[in-house]
Amino acid sequence: MSKLFKRGYLALILLFLYVPIIVLIVQSFNAGISRAKWEGFSLKWYIDLFNSPAIMNALYITVTIALLAAAIATVLGTMAAIGIHAMQKRSQGLMMTLTNIPMTMPDIVTGISLMLLFIFSRVSRGYITMLLAHVTFNIPYVILSVMPRLKQMNKFSYEAALDLGATPGYALRKVVLPFVMPGVITGALLSFTLSLDDFTISYFTTSPLIQNLSTLIYSEARKGIKPTMNALSALMFVALLVLLLLVNHRANLSQEKK
């Protein structure tokens, strides 16, 4: 009876979470405009989606922002993690606390604070400011992904490489980076996923002329949901699901190697 209750409870939660998404995906193949009536299977809305200049431009901005933000945040986050790991325990704990604060704050706080910073600095909001905002909130996640690998590494490996005649840069490339690379890749994938899915911070740090997919969907939803938005949301869900599965797979591999 206890197992039956647990399974039923789990099934109820999964239904509550995923039935709306399944309905949305099914509706994206509905030939008609009405969401209350099935009028036949069609790929019409997907064709309209890829023929829409506004959506294609938003897709370009979303993907390029996500790729650039993930790349920059991965480099900066990895360097920061290595620097923090080299600190004394007290300083390391303080820095990790400061690093974790942005991840615990609501996105709206981060978005508004960055918006006020750009306004105070008299920087016009647009593509660059959105990119900087995405890099900012991605860096802590990269640090969080790389730090466990650094803590697992033998602290004498780097020093041994130096004693054998390697330069600090060579030892970093050949000893430290290969060991922490699983964490670096996980951080990069996580950064790309978070950037691809972000709405709140993007909304506050860009202008109405520069929109990614999340802000475009929000602006279109205020006018009324079009069937093309169902198709777009379905594709975004599938893309994010694949990326999250990759991130979880790499995390599981890292756990097995411990």
At 140 the pLDDT is 93
Q: In this predicted model, what pLDDT tens digit does every residue of 176-213 receive, in sequence order?
A: 888 888 889 889 988 998 898 888 899 999 888 888 88
Q: What is the CA radius of gyration of the chain?
A: 22
Contact 67, 193 (CB under 8 A): no
The residue type found at 213 is L
Question: Which residue would you say has higher pLDDT here, 173 or 142?
Answer: 142
Closest alpha carbon to 68 in 238, 212, 199, 246: 212
Q: Which domains does the chain have, with CATH numbers?
A: 54-257 (1.10.3720.10)
Residue 108 has pLDDT above 60, yes or no: yes
Please, which pLDDT band fits residue 175 given cuts at 50, 70 and 90? confident
Q: In this predicted model, what pLDDT tens digit does every residue of 230-241 receive, in sequence order?
A: 888 888 888 878
At 68 the pLDDT is 95
Residues 61, 63, 66, 71: is their CA dihedral positive or negative?
A: negative
Give the containing element (helix H, strand E) for 76: helix 53-85
CA distances (Å), 71 to each of 6, 18, 58, 94, 131, in order?
A: 42, 31, 20, 26, 11
Structure tokens at 26: 């099914």
Structure tokens at 95: 């820095």
Q: In this predicted model, what pLDDT tens digit does every residue of 209-250 receive, in sequence order?
A: 888 888 888 887 777 777 888 888 888 888 878 877 877 776
Measured in residues, the chain has a length of 258
The four Cα atoms 50, 51, 53, 57 give a dihedral, to 10 degrees, of 10
